[in-house]
Structure formats: structure tokens, C-alpha cells
């Protein structure tokens, strides 16, 4: 059973030749009775949120984590401040659930917003938790987001490798989140949205099952985003499907001049 599947759609960036072709798919996995993941495909904003099942009612934060970004849909131009306000509002809305439960529900969040700077297109990527954003271009896969997790801290400290992290017993323990950890700040990065590139957003249900090599193989096909998201989800389920899995793929099409800078840090919201 696949749910929340969108067919291939496209959005023309106002005022330029760039077109964003996109699709999303989600599956509850083989071990879960319900899906705590959610996605928002509302150009110029794309988002994946993963409700934290280890806290009370991991399905409850989804609409509160995603909802504040919905007003940005269809806008001709979105600024960094708009994204920061949406995430700050999501923090407040999800944190408010704490009054109803002894353990506050929470959610990861990874969002990519198409923005223009000096007439060049970029992805403004924000993340909290271990849902991820990747850029795929000319056969090269680049992870844009950095996981906020115990396992990532172990990798950074040189105590385990990335391969060892896949099966680590604490791989699902995160250190930042929407709502449950109210002092958490999002990380921001600015990445060129180059023509011919693919953006991948996903919950950890994908990356806990598939290696980077598998992701490269599936993203390298000539398939449209709709077939690509289905192939990614199906592969994660076939590999074990231990968690909900949600995938968004966006192809950047057009002849816009390419930006030359790679990933840049972007100032987070001041708390």
C-alpha cells in the first residue's frame, strides 16, 4: 500500500525559464500500522516531516509542523525571513501539544525553498532532526542537511563510520526537533539550484534502509520524478521497511545561468 502519492507536476518559476518538476510518495512500511510522516509539495516550498513515535502520539505534530509553510505556496518570491517565521511558528504550534501529554510530541523537519539571489536560483534548505536533503547533479550525490542525532555526533567524533551508523542501535535518537525539544534551532544552507540537478527530500525511513550507492543508482535513471519516488520508496520497503518512508524529488529544468558556489551556511533564526 502506497499513500500520499502525487503524480508528476511542474511549476514555472515566475519571471524566468526555470521549471520545477516534482513528485512525492509515502509508505507506512512493513512494521507500522500507521504513517507518522508527512510531506508538503507546494512550490516554491517542498517539505518532509517525520512525527516522533518515541514521544506521545507521533502522528499529532504533522499538521502543526507542516501547516505554517502552506501560505508560502505559489508566491512569486519567498525570502529567508518567510521560511524562518514559518519554522518558528511550527515550533510554537507543536510545542503547545505538551500541555495535553506527559511527553511532548515532536517532529523532524527538512524543507527546501526555491529562492532567487542576484537572478540566480538557489535552494534554501532548513532542517531539524534526521530527515534529509540531498542534491544530485551529474552523477554526484551531496547531502545538504546535517543530521541532528546521536549517531551523527559519533560520526563527527570519529567513533563510528557512516556504514556502521546504518545499523547502530541509537540511529533513531535525535538531538533537535520541532516541538519536543523547544530550544532547538534549525540549520540553514544555501545551495545552487542548477539546471539538470535533482533535489531529494526524505524521512529516515529511506536512508536507514538504502545506502548512498543505492540512492545514486535510483536517482541516476532517466525516469521522471513520479517513477523515481516510487522506485525509492519501493526499494526501501523491499529492504526491510522498518519505518515509515517519505520521499520528495524535484527536477530543476531550464537554461538559467548556473551559480558557481557550492553549499553555503546560512544564518539560523535568532532565538
Q: Report all structural domains of the chain as residue ranges with CATH numbers, in order of start.
A: 3-266 (3.60.40.10)
pLDDT level of residue 62 (50, 70, 90 thresholds): low
Q: Which residue has the higher pLDDT, 190 or 2?
A: 190
8 A C-beta contact, residue 64 and residue 218 = no
Q: What is the mean pLDDT of residues 121-148?
A: 96
pLDDT level of residue 259 (50, 70, 90 thresholds): very low
Q: What is the mean pLDDT of residues 260-270?
A: 48
8 A C-beta contact, residue 36 and residue 50 = yes
Cα 191–Cα 218–Cα 11 angle in degrees, nearest 5: 50
pLDDT tens, 152-185?
A: 999 999 999 887 887 788 877 889 988 765 567 8
Q: What is the mean pLDDT of residues 222-250?
A: 95
pLDDT level of residue 4 (50, 70, 90 thresholds): low
| pTM given for the model | 0.89
Q: E strand or H helix at 73, and its extent?
A: none
Residue 112 has pLDDT above 60, yes or no: yes
Residue 269 has pLDDT above 60, yes or no: no
Residue 190 has pLDDT above 60, yes or no: yes
Q: Following DSSP, what letter does each residue of 166-182 receive, concatenated?
A: HT-TTTT-BS--BSSST
pLDDT at 263: 52
Q: Report the phi/psi class of residue 74: left, alpha or beta, with left for phi > 0 and alpha for psi in -120 to 50.
A: left
Q: Can the peptide bond before residue 44 be classed as cis, meaning omega within 30 degrees of 0?
A: yes
The answer to which of 44-48, 73-77, 159-163 has the lowest mean pLDDT is 159-163
pLDDT at 271: 33
Task: Name the residue among 35, 43, 3, 84 with its Cα closest to residue 203.
Answer: 35
Amino acid at each position: 500500500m502506497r499513500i500520499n502519492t502525487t503524480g508528476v507536476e511542474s511549476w514555472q518559476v515566475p519571471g524566468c525559464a526555470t521549471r520545477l518538476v516534482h513528485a512525492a510518495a509515502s509508505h507506512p512500511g512493513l512494521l507500522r500500522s500507521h504513517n507518522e510522516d508527512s510531506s508538503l509539495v507546494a512550490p516554491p516550498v517542498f517539505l518532509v516531516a517525520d512525527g516522533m513515535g518515541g514521544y506521545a502520539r507521533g502522528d499529532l505534530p504533522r499538521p502543526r509542523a507542516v501547516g505554517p509553510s502552506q501560505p508560502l505556496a505559489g508566491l512569486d518570491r519567498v525570502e529567508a525571513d518567510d521560511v524562518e517565521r514559518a519554522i518558528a511558528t511550527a515550533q510554537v504550534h507543536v510545542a503547545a501539544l505538551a500541555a495535553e501529554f506527559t511527553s511532548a510530541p515532536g517532529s523532524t523537519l527538512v524543507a527546501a525553498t526555491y529562492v532567487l539571489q542576484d537572478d540566480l536560483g538557489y535552494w534554501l534548505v532548513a532542517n531539524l532532526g534526521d530527515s534529509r536533503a540531498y542534491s544530485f547533479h551529474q552523477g554526484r550525490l551531496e547531502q545538504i542537511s546535517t543530521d541532528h542525532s546521536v549517531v551523527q555526533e559519533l560520526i563527527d567524533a570519529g567513533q563510528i563510520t557512516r556504514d556502521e551508523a546504518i545499523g547502530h542501535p541509537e540511529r533513531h535518537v535525535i538531538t533537535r526537533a520541532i516541538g519536543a525539544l523547544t530550544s532547538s534551532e534549525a540549520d540553514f544552507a544555501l545551495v545552487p539550484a542548477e539546471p539538470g540537478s535533482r533535489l531529494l527530500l526524505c524521512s529516515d525511513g529511506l536512508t536507514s534502509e538504502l545506502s548512498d550507492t543505492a540512492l545514486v543508482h535510483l536517482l541516476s535513471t532517466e525516469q521522471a520524478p513520479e517513477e523515481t519516488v516510487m522506485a525509492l520508496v519501493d526499494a526501501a520497503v523491499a529492504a526491510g521497511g522498518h519505518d515509515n518512508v517519505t520521499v520528495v524529488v524535484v527536477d530543476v529544468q531550464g537554461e538559467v545561468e548556473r551559480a558557481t558556489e557550492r553549499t553555503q551556511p546560512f544564518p539560523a533564526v535568532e532565538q
